[in-house]
Amino acid sequence: MARLSYAEAACAALERAMRDDARVVVLGEDVGRGGIFGQYRGLQERFGAGRVIDTPISEATIMGAAVGMALAGLVPVVEMRVVDFALCAMDEIVNQAAKARFMLGGQARAGLVARMPIGLWSGSAAQHSQSLEAWFAHVPGLAVVAPATPQDNYALLAAAIACGDPVAYLEHKELWSLAGEVAEDAAVPLGRAAVLREGGDLTLVAWSRTVHAALEAAAQAQRRGIGVEVIDLRTLWPWDRDTVLASCARTGRLLVAHEAVRVGGFGAEIAAEVAETLGIRVKRLGSPRIPVGYAKPLEDEARVDAARLLAAIESFG
C-alpha cells in the first residue's frame, strides 16, 4: 500500500489504465501540465502529447471530440476542470454520449469518463461551487460516480474506465489534497456502497465530501448515546439499493445528506425509495436553494457540516 493524496490516487489509476490499454487517452484543458489539481501530473511526459492531449478552451468541442473518439473505439478520459464548466457541453454529454448505445441499437457505445469536479470550492463563489450530480443521475445511459477517499478515487476511476459506458465522474474540488492509504489491488465495482461505521439507531447515507462530515457527526452522536450507521454511497447510479435498505430495515430511520441543493437533490430519490419500500421515517439534509456566496459567512450557509448533521440526527428524537 502507498499513501497518496486524492489527486495522486486518481493519477496513479489513470497511469495504470494507460499503461495496460493503448486505447485509453486523455483530453482537456491544461492536462499536459498536469491539470489544475495535479491529477494528470507526469502523464504527458510518459505517454506523449498524442495520448494526453491539450485542447482549446471549448468544453463542447472537447466533449464532442471525446464522443467521436469513443465511438471509434478509443477510451477517452475527458477533463472538464469543474462541473460548472461542463454546462457548456451538456448536449454532447446528455444527447450524444448518454444516448449513443440506445439509438444505435447496441452497435456502438460511447465509453468515456467525464471528470467533472463538484462541490463548494472555498472562495470561488456561485459559478465554481456547484454540486450537480442529480442532473446526471436523471439521465438514462449515464453512470454517476462520486468518490470520497483516495482509495475509492483510485479504484472507482479504474472501474469507470473499464465499464464501457459513459460515466459522469464527480470528484470533489476540496478533496484533492486529502491523503490516505491506497491499495492498487483493491477493486471496487460500480454500484456498491461502503458501510463505514456501524450503528443501530439511524442510517446516514452520504457521498463525496459530505461523507467526512457524516463520520464526524456520527462520532459526536455516539458520545450522546445515538448509534449512527454511516454509508458512503460512492456510486449514485447505479446506487446500492440493497445495502441501504438492509441498513434502514435494522435501524428504522434514514437521514440522507449531501452538499447539493436539497430541493430536487438525489437524496430525495433515496428517501422516497426507502419510505415506499420500508415505510420508515426519513429525512433529508442539503444546501439551501441559494447561489453559493463569495464571502465566507455566505459560503458557510451552503455548507452541510458536522454540526448541521448532528442537529438533523438529534431531530429524530
287-292 long-range CB contacts below 8 Å, 24 or more apart?
287/131, 287/259, 287/260, 287/261, 287/262, 288/261, 288/262, 289/261, 289/262, 289/263, 291/126, 292/120, 292/125, 292/126, 292/129, 292/130
Cα(223)–Cα(205) distance, integer angstroms: 20
Cα(55)–Cα(27) distance, integer angstroms: 7
Cα(313)–Cα(171) distance, integer angstroms: 26
Torsion angle of alpha carbons 58, 302, 300, 271, nearest 10°? Answer: -130
Q: Assign 257 to helix, strand or coil.
A: strand
Half-sphere exposure of 137 (CA within 13 A, CB side): 22
Report which residue type is found at 65: A
Contact 247, 206 (CB under 8 A): no
Q: Assign 303 to helix, strand or coil.
A: coil
Instruction: List the one residue out of 125, 130, 133 whose CA is nearest residue 170.
Output: 133
**What is the total residue count of the chain?**
317
Set of cell numbers at residue 17: 489504465
CB 145: neighbour CB atoms within 10 A?
31
* Dihedral sign computed on CA atoms, order 198, 201, 205, 209: negative
- State the catalytic residues: 128
